[in-house]
């Protein structure tokens, strides 16, 4: 499939038509989604109008921007003017329409990108599986008997299937990195608070971040530059590496540990302190903030919620304020400790998920030798990183013929460019990289250039 950059260059030079790209995408999404269950709404009229505007700018000799005509989708919690923001819940299916686009959507539109769909998610982003009572279970394009991961599973699935060149998700405790790992693509959780959250339905404001999905590092850096308004130029120095030890070397696939040790055989093993406590505090803060956000709706009609989400939100709403305050105080102290601990390194390596995608019929995974619900525990390696606020890029191990699984590249605050540079080096060496699923419907524009 063509990359983000190839599409944008083709549209800007007139070799590709944004309108044709959109029509191909819409057709392919309809066909493929019968199996994937990744799309909640197709934006036919809006997408065609945006594409026509891009083509008109090109015809007039104007540059539409670095993402000219590139079609994309958004997790169904980004505001889109004129549509209700459902956050994956039937409770908001008939809500008042958004008055304007989310800021991230505005920035992408200003760069020429064309939004074509809203995408499936766990209700209110509370889960790691995209098991949605209202919209269905999103399937993994590599094996539709398996989960795509969550909570941004719809966004990951359409990119991994080659249906869209990129998509937006959100990451609170791993909701971008988990599905990226399970579907074999790149997914970014940026430095906490660096990308605009205005117009994004919150899950837990303390942790929420906007995150893109792409099939290459180059595309990820390009989309991130538009969203962050920063330069992703590679740093002019060699990168100092470390491997995360302790819990990060438990509950992992052998290929993940082998890859980490082969990438950085002489890098020190760094053990983050009090990982279990950090993850427990993250669970508590998430539950408290989610419960508080939905308290009134729960009181009005608790039975309208997805049962698995409802019970977790109710539990969070009942937690005492003092416990929440204690967890937040620990978080502030912990972040300072971790930033000091990792200051001597540019990239930390860790697994992204503890296993490949679990089966839809049995959504459990093995954690410490016992079966555990995938919906809660697929984020065992991502949640502690969210707690630190550090940026983390999920990268897919290149292992054709096997189910996908990824690593996390973790950096210092505001140092995403270093992660992109290191990821590009790994991709160039063939250690990481996207492998297309077999037997997937792809748009006609995909052609033969780009990724295979």
Cβ neighbours of 93 (radius 10 Å): 11
CB 89 within 8 A of CB 120: no
Is the CB of residue 103 less than 8 Å from the CB of residue 198? Answer: yes
Q: What residue ranges in 245-380 does DSSP mark as E strands?
A: 269-270, 347-351, 364-367, 370-373
Pick the catalytic residue from 17, 175, 206, 392.
175
Nearest in space to 150 (alpha carbons), one of 164, 162, 135: 135
- Catalytic residue (one of 151, 152, 155, 392): 151
Integer-rounded Cα radius of gyration of the chain: 20
Give me the sheet containing 347-351, strands edge to edge: 39-42, 114-119, 71-75, 166-171, 209-214, 186-189, 392-396, 406-410, 347-351, 241-244, 269-270
The yes-or-no answer on residue 151 being catalytic is yes
Q: What is the dihedral of CA 438, 128, 213, 158, to 10 degrees?
A: 40
| Whether 175 is catalytic | yes
**The pair of three-digit structure tokens given for residue 290, joined into one six-digit string:** 């989610």
Which residue in the block uniquely carries the two structure tokens 């990359």?
3
Residue 69, sorted as left (phi over 0), alpha (psi -120 to 50) or beta, turns out to be: left
Closest to 154 measured CA to CA, from 5, 3, 41: 41
CA 336 – CA 76 distance, rounded (Å):
34
Q: Are 427 and 3 in contact (CB under 8 A)?
A: no
- Give every CB contact of residue 387 below 8 A, 6+ residues apart in sequence: 207, 278, 279, 281, 282, 331, 334, 335
Q: Which residues are catalytic?
A: 75, 151, 175
């Amino acid at each position: 499939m063509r990359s983000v950059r190839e599409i944008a260059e083709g549209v800007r030079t007139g070799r590709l038509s944004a309108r044709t790209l959109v029509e191909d995408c819409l057709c392919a999404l309809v066909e493929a989604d019968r199996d994937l269950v990744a799309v909640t709404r197709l934006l036919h009229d809006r997408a065609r109008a945006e594409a026509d505007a891009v083509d008109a700018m090109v015809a007039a000799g104007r540059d539409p921007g670095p993402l000219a005509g590139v079609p994309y989708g958004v997790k169904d919690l980004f505001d889109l003017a004129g549509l209700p923001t459902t956050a994956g819940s039937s409770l908001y299916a008939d809500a008042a329409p958004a008055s304007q686009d989310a800021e991230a959507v505005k920035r992408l539109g200003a760069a020429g990108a064309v939004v074509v769909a809203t995408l499936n998610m766990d209700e209110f982003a509370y889960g790691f599986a995209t098991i949605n009572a209202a919209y269905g279970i999103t399937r993994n394009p590599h094996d539709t008997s398996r989960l795509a991961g969550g909570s941004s599973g719809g966004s990951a699935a359409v990119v991994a299937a080659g249906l869209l060149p990129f998509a937006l998700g959100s990451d609170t405790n791993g909701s971008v990195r988990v599905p990226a790992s399970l579907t074999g693509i790149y997914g970014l959780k940026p430095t906490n608070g660096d990308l605009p959250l205005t117009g994004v339905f919150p899950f837990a404001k303390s942790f929420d971040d906007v995150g893109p999905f792409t099939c290459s590092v180059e595309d990820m850096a390009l989309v991130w530059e538009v969203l962050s308004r920063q330069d992703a130029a590679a740093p002019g120095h060699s990168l100092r590496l470390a491997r995360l030890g302790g819990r990060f070397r438990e509950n992992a696939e052998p290929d993940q540990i082998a890859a980490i040790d082969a990438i950085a055989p002489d890098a020190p093993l760094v053990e983050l302190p009090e990982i279990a406590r950090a993850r427990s505090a993250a669970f508590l803060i998430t539950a408290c903030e989610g419960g508080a956000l939905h308290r009134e709706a729960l009181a009005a009609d608790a039975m309208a919620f997805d049962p698995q989400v409802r019970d977790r939100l109710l539990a969070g709403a009942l937690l005492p304020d003092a416990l929440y305050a204690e967890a937040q105080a620990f978080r502030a102290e912990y972040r300072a400790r971790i930033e000091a601990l990792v200051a001597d390194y540019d990239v930390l390596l860790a697994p992204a998920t503890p296993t490949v995608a679990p089966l839809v019929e049995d959504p459990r995974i093995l954690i410490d030798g016992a079966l555990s619900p995938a919906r809660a525990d697929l984020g065992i390696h991502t949640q502690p990183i969210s707690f630190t606020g550090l940026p983390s890029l999920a990268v897919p191990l290149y292992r054709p013929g096997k189910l996908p699984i990824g690593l996390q590249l973790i950096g210092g605050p505001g140092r995403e460019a270093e992660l992109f540079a290191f990821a590009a080096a790994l991709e160039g060496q063939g250690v990481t990289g996207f492998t297309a699923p077999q037997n997937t419907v792809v748009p006609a524009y995909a052609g033969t250039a780009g990724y295979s």
